[in-house]
């Protein structure tokens, strides 16, 4: 794969990947994570301290699973943003309120880029994002943009894949991401084959360039304090959360 040629090349690649798997995302995501994906989402959402009066932004909302978890837990207003029109359409169906006679979703959905959010400064009480930083050209600048739309004192929280640090677990992780997922994805429809071959190497490449302490530093330079991290599922996933200074 050639290197990105401009600041939107990674966006375009991500949009193509996720457009191709939107219609069948949830099942494979559960299987390939050894049925941990739901647990990861719930832990992420549990870090948020929001009330029914809060307004929360879910960046890379995908098929709306995290947004749905937040709205269901806190009964607050949630806005979901994603690059992929196909993912947004899938989210719209997933988020339709039970028994609703119209197409109004439980969460507002907007098509947009994390690097240039279409919202005013200090608009949200909390911002969450999932599987974002590998798909942007400048992770630190993206964190600054996420912090821009967050109110002073508001929370930022994220869920990303991670690379296990235990040598034995790491070898098993390599087997899973370099063999099991690519082989399994060939049996799936749409763009799963491309996703299966891309996923493992992209995770390894990202963390070879950005160590965990580097990520914490990015968060702090973006104006986030009280930054905490939690590795889940033997190091296969990473949740981070912090609070914007100012209160």
Could you tell me the residue ranges of all domains in the chain?
9-17+35-164+211-244
pLDDT tens readout for residues 157-190: 999 999 999 999 999 999 999 999 999 999 998 8
State mean pLDDT over 128-151.
97
pLDDT by residue (tens digit) across 190-223? 899 999 999 999 999 999 999 999 999 999 999 9
Distance CA 25, CA 63 (A): 8
Q: Which residues 6+ apart lie within 8 Å of 16 measured at CB?
A: 191
Look at residue 189 in the predicted model and tell me its pLDDT.
87
Q: Please give the model's pTM, rounded to 2 decimal places.
A: 0.92
Which segments within 2-135 are labelled E, that is strand? 55-59, 77-82, 108-111, 124-130
In angstroms, the CA 152 to CA 242 distance is 12
| Cα(73)–Cα(218) distance, integer angstroms | 29
Instruction: Name the DSSP letter for residue 4.
Output: P
DSSP class of residue 52 equals T
Bridge partners of 228?
241
Q: Which CATH class is domain 9-17+35-164+211-244?
A: alpha beta
- pLDDT of amino acid 8: 75
Q: What is the pLDDT of residues 11-62, one digit of tens each?
A: 888 899 999 999 899 999 999 999 999 999 999 999 999 999 999 999 999 9
């Amino acid at each position: 794969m050639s290197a990105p040629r401009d600041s939107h090349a990674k966006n375009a690649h991500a949009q193509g990947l996720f457009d191709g798997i939107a219609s069948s995302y949830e099942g494979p995501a559960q299987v390939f994570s050894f049925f941990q994906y739901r647990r990861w989402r719930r832990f992420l959402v549990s870090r948020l301290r929001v009330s029914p009066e809060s307004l929360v932004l879910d960046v890379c909302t995908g098929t709306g699973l995290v947004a749905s978890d937040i709205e269901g837990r806190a009964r607050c207003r949630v806005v979901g943003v994603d690059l992929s029109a196909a993912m947004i359409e899938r989210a719209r169906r997933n988020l339709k309120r039970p028994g609703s006679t119209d197409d109004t979703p439980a969460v507002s959905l907007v098509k947009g880029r994390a690097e240039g959010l279409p919202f005013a400064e200090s608009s949200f009480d909390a911002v969450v994002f999932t599987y974002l930083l590998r798909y942007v050209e400048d992770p630190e600048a993206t964190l600054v943009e996420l912090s821009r739309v967050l109110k002073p004192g508001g929370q930022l929280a994220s869920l990303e894949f991670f690379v296990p640090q235990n040598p034995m677990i790491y070898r098993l992780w390599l087997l899973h991401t370099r063999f099991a997922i690519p082989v399994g994805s060939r049996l799936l429809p749409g763009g799963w084959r491309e996703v299966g071959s891309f996923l493992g190497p992209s995770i390894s490449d990202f963390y070879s360039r950005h160590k965990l302490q580097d990520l914490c530093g990015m968060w702090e330079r973006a104006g986030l304090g009280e930054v905490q991290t939690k590795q889940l599922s033997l190091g296969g996933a990473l949740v981070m959360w912090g609070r914007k200074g100012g209160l």
